[in-house]
Amino acid sequence: MFRGVEKIIKVIFLGAIIFFAAYLLNSFRESLLLKKVIERLTAESMIAEVVVADLRTDYHTGKAYTTIKFLEYDTLGKALPPKYFTFSSDILQFQSLVIRFDDFYIKKGDPLKGKSAYLFMKVFALKDDGAEVYEINKINEVPSGYRVGRQVTAFENRLWRKFWEYALSPQEAKRIGIKNAQIEAPGTKFVPGMLYTLKIEHDGGMRVDVSALPRVHAE
């Protein structure tokens, strides 16, 4: 009789240990999953770098001119050919269309909708008498940072025309998982000796980070 009770106790004890171990394992897995979700929601990607390439003064007019070097990166992190823009101001902004997807896709790490999409449209300087504006990309065209090859194919053109149509139509946007699409214009004062990094937050918008220019860039 005692042996039977002892066996029952052992079985119950062993079952409790297994249950507790399974609970700990499940909690550990949930903790890892939660960590990945948080990382995806708070992650960011560098999409462009800007430096002041030249600073000069027109001695006839006394105006100061700032030339910036704009280096955009594609979705694989590869640098695209640099572009240079000259302004009679050092307060510059990048007009951009930013498309946010539902957090559901970001949490999953979806390959297509796992972070906000963006389109650099213009870089500009506001003036008392108007604005100085340079175009970077156009709506309904293939964004420079998303091009697959050097030559844009007919398929890419059709794909992106449809994408912009969906992104800018509230009903269609919601149907394909777009939270919202809006124009943003992050900017700052651009001075020599500093590195300006434009970043896209995976669940948010665009921002400009400023840091001292590394010596390799400065020389």
Helices vs. strands in the chain: H and E counts, helices first = 5, 10
Q: Which long-range contacts (CB under 8 A, 24 or more apart) does 162-165 make?
A: 164/139, 164/140
Return the pLDDT at 170. 79
Return the pLDDT at 208. 95
Return the pLDDT at 192. 94
Above 60 in pLDDT, residue 1? no
Token pair for 165 = 């149509």
Domain ranges for the chain, please list them.
1-42, 44-218
Per the CB < 8 A criterion, the answer to whether 137 and 154 are in contact is no
In eight-state DSSP terms, residue 213 is P
What average pLDDT does the structure give for the chain? 79
Average pLDDT of the segment spanning 186-214: 91
The model's pTM: 0.72
Return the pLDDT at 34. 39
pLDDT band at 40 (very low <50, low <70, confident <90, very high): very low
Lowest mean pLDDT: which of 15-24, 51-60, 80-89, 126-135?
Answer: 15-24
Q: Which comes out higher in pLDDT, residue 38 or 50? A: 50
Return the pLDDT at 26. 58
Q: In sequence order, which ranges of the chain are alpha helices (DSSP H)?
A: 2-42, 103-108, 154-167, 170-175, 215-218
The residues, any chain, with a CB within 8 Å of residue 152's CB and separated by 6 or more, are: 142
Average pLDDT of the segment spanning 131-145: 85
Q: Which comes out higher in pLDDT, residue 74 or 72? A: 72
Per the CB < 8 A criterion, the answer to whether 55 and 64 are in contact is yes
